[in-house]
Amino acid sequence: MVVYNEEKVIQRCLDSIKDLVDEIIVVHDGECADKTLEIAKKYTDKIFVREHVGVMEAHLVFAYEQAQGEWLLRIDADEFFDIFDHDKIRSLLASSNTNNGYTFNWEFWDGKKTVSIKGLQKSCFFRKNNFHYIGVTHEVGYVDGGFKKVDIFLHHRPMYNNVSWKEFTRKVKKWIPVYVRSFFPGLIKYDCFNTTPDKWINYANKVTKHPLYHMAVYPLKVSLGQLKNGLWTSWTGLNIACQQYVCYFWIYWQIWKMKKKLKLNY
């Protein structure tokens, strides 16, 4: 897990996995300003403090490389499992001769209650040697053979309203500039796990070649796809799909602006 000043939620997370996993690896994004690491030390001695970047993905490759086990579980400090699901998760390993990765049910938190909608899910449990990842913001990575969906809940309950437009704006202002830079290979160094950056660079070159086309097409494609997967069934789901449209429109618009700034010629 990669964390940043998460003293209010990290103990709940660690309590939910302490009897499930063989080791816990905690990477802190920069110096810690609260009791996060004091709490983490009760559960593990594999704690690392790295230079502050502001996005989790910048540290994931490092975190994966510290793991000794055959399987990796990536979990955030504001997430947790129900204890009664531990046996279900263990059974996945017992029957995993062909499956190399799993996707769990997921949820949003509106500040008062959880919002569980068909289509909300997270892929975060995978066989280490069959998992491939490039450290780009919001990239999930992929496994050989793809992820299999299972009926297990990974709860997600941060200390804020995760579906509000205020929180949405705060988040995208933080990570979109970092994400946009990843589309320009000359601006960053790619950290990779069991892969090379070639696949991402090829995709990035296609996007930067025609950013206005992607701005017109991709945001609509993403939001409609999520509505089709189940977000259309509630006002909250419609709100999330709308936020996704704005998010991706914003991304490609910023890529277009960055291209102009760098005066790239294609």
| CATH number for position 52 | 3.90.550.10
Compute the average pLDDT of residues 60-81.
96
DSSP 130-147: GEEEE--TT---EETT--
How many CB atoms sit inside 10 A of residue 145's CB?
12
pLDDT value at position 101? 94
* pLDDT class of 201 with cuts at 50, 70, 90: very high
Percent of the chain with pLDDT over 90: 74
User: Is 263's pLDDT higher than 60?
Assistant: yes
Tens-place pLDDT, residues 11-64: 999 999 999 999 999 999 999 999 999 999 999 999 999 999 888 999 999 999
Q: Specify the range with the lowest mean pLDDT, choosing from 105-114, 134-143, 156-165, 182-191.
A: 105-114
pLDDT value at position 158? 92
* pLDDT class of 146 with cuts at 50, 70, 90: confident
Same domain, 143 and 189: no
Domain boundary among 156, 177, 204: 156
Domain boundary among 108, 126, 156: 156
Mean pLDDT of the chain: 92
Point out which residues pair with 28 in neighbouring strands. 3, 49
| Residue with token string 């297990």 | 152
User: Considering only CA atoms, which of 95, 29, 92, 94 is closest in space to residue 57?
Assistant: 29
Same domain, 230 and 138: no
Same domain, 180 and 148: no
Same domain, 66 and 126: yes
User: Is 97's pLDDT higher than 80?
Assistant: no
pLDDT value at position 13? 98
Q: Specify the range with the lowest mean pLDDT, choosing from 73-77, 94-98, 104-108, 165-169.
A: 94-98
Same domain, 180 and 96: no
For helices 235-262 and 198-209, the axis angle rounded to 10 degrees is 80
Same domain, 180 and 149: no
Same domain, 150 and 193: no
User: Is 265's pLDDT higher than 60?
Assistant: no
pLDDT value at position 96? 62
User: Is 266's pLDDT higher than 50?
Assistant: no
Compute the average pLDDT of residues 127-142.
93
| Structural domain total, the chain | 2
Q: Specify the range with the lowest mean pLDDT, choosing from 41-45, 53-57, 158-162, 224-228.
A: 224-228
Same domain, 187 and 131: no
Same domain, 214 and 94: no
Helix, strand and coil percent figures for the chain, each rounded to 5: 45, 20, 40
Domain boundary among 156, 177, 192: 156
Domain hosting residue 92, numbered range: 2-156
Same domain, 141 and 178: no
Same domain, 152 and 173: no
* pLDDT class of 119 with cuts at 50, 70, 90: confident
Same domain, 172 and 99: no
